Structure formats: structure tokens, C-alpha cells
A and B are shown apart, each in its own frame.
Chain A
Amino acid sequence: MTSGLSVRGLSAGYSRDANVVDEVAFEAPRGRVTALLGPNGAGKSTLLKAVLGLLPSTGAVLLDGDSVAGWPAGLRAQRIAYVPQQSLLTARLSVRSVVGMGRFARERVWSSRGKEDRDAIQKALDQANVAHLAERAFPEISGGERQRVLLARALATGARTLLLDEPTSSLDVRQVLSLHAVVRELAQQEFCLLLVLHDLDEARKHADRGVLLEAGRVHLEGPIAEVVHADPIRRVYGVEVHEGGGLGFSLPEEI
């Protein structure tokens, strides 16, 4: 049994007759940070949504050896959590309330939150380093802080598998490092982490494994140093790379 996320022959799209991802298979083991890479339109975000069950799909998604097919939405939310690239939430809710949303799948409709929920929310706030923002209004904090709050919300679900869609795309360098520090800590606690990343340098530095998508299919999967490598990058991104540099290759100044 593979511990972590195992995707087998997964096809999904936004309409019935056009799959964006096609027969995708890869592993995202526990205790490792797996980066989902690929050019725009390769199907990275679609793949995350398909794994989350937000899109109709065929194929199999296994979590710690169990198929997630047929899991009710509540159970899936307790086992696999999602951090969107940006939240659409504009309502003036406190950060604590937003993180508390993560407990939804574990709460009963008419009951108040008990100690277990309160503790989980506080722990998530602490883990994501946003406890000091708890009483601030969510729309009024910075983009980087919001991203960490969304991570805290995912942690509050109690899920130990996190899917993050371009979590650092709008962050400054300090916030990027801060977020990856949290992600690394979670990996050390045997979380399964799958991140969509755009920046190859960032992926190489912070991920352990890579899954390189090309036009909805997996081009290459393996240790990050093998995936973020001159040959696959040249083929998938269609740019001529030069040998040497921090990545083992360097990108051209212009196409």
C-alpha cells in the first residue's frame, strides 16, 4: 500500500466531451512535498480540482490505499484539504471565523463548537503563523497573510493531505519563504503535500518530488532534480535552455 496520494488513469475536464487532463497517473507520498509543474494550460489546476472531486472524472484517486470514489463530500473534506490560489471571500468575517470554516465537515448543523473544534482552530492558526491576526477582518489583511489564513483553514479541517494551487503566486520573497517553511514543517509531520508551482527555481529549492504536466498528460515524474532538469524543461516548455546555473541549467533571456 502506498502511503499518501496515488492518482491512476485520471481524466477530467469542464465539459463531457473535452478532457483537460487525460489518463494522468502519479504518486504524492506522505512526508514529501510534491510539486505539480507545467506550462499554462497544462491542466495543473484542473488536476487538483479533479482529485478534490470538484469536477466529474474517470480513473482512480487513492488516499493511503483507499479509493476516494464514492466518499461523501464531508468525508472527503475531512481527508483532503484545498488551498485555492485566491479566495473569493470578500465578506467582513474575522480570520478566526474563516479558519473555523475548516471545521464545517466535522460539525453538526444545530450544535455549537466544542473544545475539540476550538483547539483545532487555535492549532491551525498557530501552525500557519496567523494566530496574531485571529480577530482581524479577513479582507483587510495582506495577500500573503490571506494565503496563510487559507492554509490555516485547510489545516483546521484535520486533513493530512493538502492540495495547494499556486500558493505563492502573489507573495513577496519573504512571504514565499515563510509559507514554504510551514509546508516543510507539515511534511516532517508526515502530511502529504501537493503544490501547483509556476516558478521552477522555487520548485527545485522547496519540493522533494516533481510531476511535470504537458498538455494534460504526465510528461515526467520523479525526484525534483530529475524533473526540473534541462531536457524535460526544454521539451515541455519549448524554450532553449543553457547548461549551468543554479538549476543545473539557465533559461534564455528571450525566446
Chain B
Amino acid sequence: MAETYAEESFRKETRGGGFFWAGLLGLLVLGSVLGLLVGDGDLGDPALRDAFLRLRAWRLGNTVLAGAALAVGGVLVQGLFRNPLASPSIIGTTAGASLGGIAVLLLWDLLLMGGAVAWLPRELVVPAGCLLGALLALVLLLFVARRNPGIVAVLLTGFILSSFFLSIAGLLSSFAQERWELGRAVVAFSLGGIESKGARHFALALPMVGVAFGAALGWARHLDLLLSGEEEAASLGVPVRQVRRWAIVWTATLTGAAVAIGGNIGFVGLVVPHALRPFVGTEHRKLIPAALVGGATFLVWADVLARSLPGISQIPLGVVTGLIGAPVFLVLLARSYRAGEVL
């Protein structure tokens, strides 16, 4: 098949596509190997080595999925809102997913008391709750953004939504403390942490991330055209409403999957697409697959770092991504100010 002109210009505009991909995949492989080797537990003990490796393998798999999901979600919301500073954690989608997860835990527990859903495992309902919560957060934000699409308005609304969702989540957590088992489950979910997640979580999140990634790739050209604004995109034949609707669904699916696996891990969706654009360009057909691998790589290395600090066995993954992501966000915000994008 003939090479597209976009691909031609991509080759010329970006810095060595082949080397980039080799480097990125190399980093992922290296980080994965380290992820298996680093951490609590002595691999030298033959009696425990298999168990440790199995646990770390599932942790690694879940980290890869969460990182990939958050980064691709970041690309989608940045395209959807035409806002370079949008990411699921900044615009309240992650908080919405988190609230959805807690709400569904409570609901599940209430129903369980009546024996209605005793056959349903908790792991299965949490991702569904996260997805619905993320969906609600995005729909609310989009409603506001349609009236005032400015970068600051979207960010402020996202911040307010985020705080609101976290407050409700706190309220629900307080209710949950009335029952010990439920309270423990809610606290464990709220704190997040990928270390406790295993094969079930991986098996549930994998199809969510896979389907959403494939669908996002299918909308790549549409998202490119949306960079020109809704009116221009529509004049070029883009079914704008349909694209918006589905971009929200797939972003919510990706965020829901990531939160169900690892809780509130911030800034991945912001940092990774920005780091990748100088290498792969702006076109979504290149950016989405790069974000898939780049997000996984970023989070795998963040997890290795979280387990490698001297004097402490491990720190929460969200703390590491926050420490990296927050300064990056401020730099990007300052750059947007200078470019006159933030009014």
C-alpha cells in the first residue's frame, strides 16, 4: 500500500522513527526485567522464587495496562478538548472513576446483604463502577466545555469536579466505615496501589484497554480533523457529535480500567503524550500507538523507582508519577501562557 503523505511528512518532521521505536521498546523491556528483579523478597530463595516472580509478573502486567490506558486516555482527552493540558487526572475523570468504584462497592455490599449478587465477585463490579464514574465526569465536563471551551475554564472545571468527586468519595468512605469488611475494601481501593492486583484484575482490564485502544485508533483521523475545531471538522465531513460521544466512551473505558487496577495514578496522561509528540508528531495514528507503549514504559519505570528507593520498601506509584508530573504540568502551563494559549 502506498505510503501516505502524512507518513512522509512524519518521517521528515520527526526524529528517526525506527530508532525511536527501538529505543522505546528497549526501555519497556529493560524496565520490565527490572520490575521482575527489584522489590521485597529474596529471589535467591528457591522455595519462594516462583511465587515472588509470579506476583511481580502480575504486578508488571497490571502496571503495563494502567500506564498504557492512562496515556492513550490522555491523548484522547487532549484531542477531544483541543487542550494540551488536559489529562484524565487533571480534568476530574480519574476522580470520577474513583468515586464510581467506591459507590459501586457500597452498592454491591448493600445488595449482597440481601443476597441478590452473592455470586458476583467484587473485582468484576469495581471496573464497571469506575467506567460509569469516569463517563459521568467527562459528560459533565463536556457540558461546561461546550459553553466555554477555553483552556483555563476546562482546567478549573475539571479541578472543581475532581474536588467534588473526592468529597463525595470521602463521604461514602465514612459510611463504609460502619461495616468493617466494607470499610477495609473501600480504604484499600481508595489508596490504590498496583501491588495487590493479580490475574483477575489483569484479565478484566485487558479487554477494556484492548477494545478502547483499537477503537481510538479507528477514530485517529477524525481526531486529527477535530484539532481544527468542530466547525471546520464538520465541513470536512467529520460526524462531530459521534466522534465526541465515542471519544468520551473510550476515554472513560481506559480511565476506568486504569483506576480499577491502580487507583488514582496522576499525570501519566499528561506527561507521556507531551514527551512523545517531538518524536512521533501530532497525528493520532502515530501518537496513539506510541502512547500505548510510552505510557506502559513510563509507569513500569515509575514502579521500579517506587520500589528502589533506599530505606523504604516501596512508595505508592501515584506519589512517583505526581512528583514527576506536577512540575511537568507547571512547565507546560507556563509554555502555554507564553504561547498565548491560556487567556
Contacts and interface: CB of A to CB of B under 8 A. Distances in A.
Interface of A: 49, 52, 54, 73-74, 76-78, 81-82, 84, 87-94, 96-97, 100-102, 104-105, 107, 109-115, 117-118, 121, 134-135, 137, 153, 157
For A54, A78, A93, A105, the residue with the greatest tally of chain B CB atoms inside 10 Å of its CB is: A93
Contacts of B228: 87-89, 101
Contacts of A104: 221, 225, 236-238
Interface string B215-249: 00010010011011101101111110000000000
Contacts of B5: 96-97, 100, 113, 118, 121
A84 B232 contact: yes
B42 interface: no
Contacts of B179: none
Contacts of A109: 218, 221
B227 A76 contact: no
A210 to B, nearest CB: 24
A157 B238 CA distance: 13
B12 interface: yes
B2 A118 contact: yes
Contacts of A134: 9
Nearest to A49: B231
B2 A94 contact: no
Give 9 nearest A-B pairs by CB, closest first: A77-B237, A105-B237, A88-B229, A94-B9, A82-B235, A113-B4, A74-B237, A91-B282, A89-B228
Given A100-B5, A100-B6, A113-B5, 11 more contacts: A73-B234, A88-B82, A89-B228, A92-B282, A93-B224, A93-B281, A94-B13, A101-B225, A112-B2, A112-B3, A112-B7
Given A91-B227, A115-B2, A54 B236 contact: no
A218 B192 CA distance: 64
Contacts of B281: 92-93
A55 B256 CA distance: 35
A132 to B, nearest CB: 14
For chain A, what secondary structure do more than half of its interface residues adopt (helix, strand, loop), or is it mixed? mixed
Nearest to B340: A90
A79 B190 CA distance: 54
Given A113-B2, A121-B5, A107 B221 contact: yes
Contacts of A81: 235
17 contacts: A73-B234, A84-B232, A87-B229, A89-B232, A93-B227, A94-B6, A94-B12, A94-B13, A96-B6, A104-B225, A105-B237, A111-B1, A113-B4, A113-B6, A118-B2, A135-B9, A135-B12
Interface string B191-234: 00000000000000000000000000010010011011101101
B238 A54 contact: no
B2 A105 contact: no
B236 A157 contact: yes
Contacts of B50: none
Interface residues of B, number: 32
A157 B237 CA distance: 10
A90 B341 contact: yes
Contacts of B218: 109-110
B229 to A, nearest CB: 4
Contacts of B232: 82, 84, 87-89
A90 B225 CA distance: 12
A51 to B, nearest CB: 11
Contacts of B224: 93, 97, 101
A107 B237 CA distance: 11
Nearest to A94: B9
A76 B234 CA distance: 10
B4 A54 contact: no
Given A93-B227, A97-B9, A104-B225, A114 B2 contact: yes
B181 interface: no
B19 to A, nearest CB: 20
Contacts of B225: 101, 104
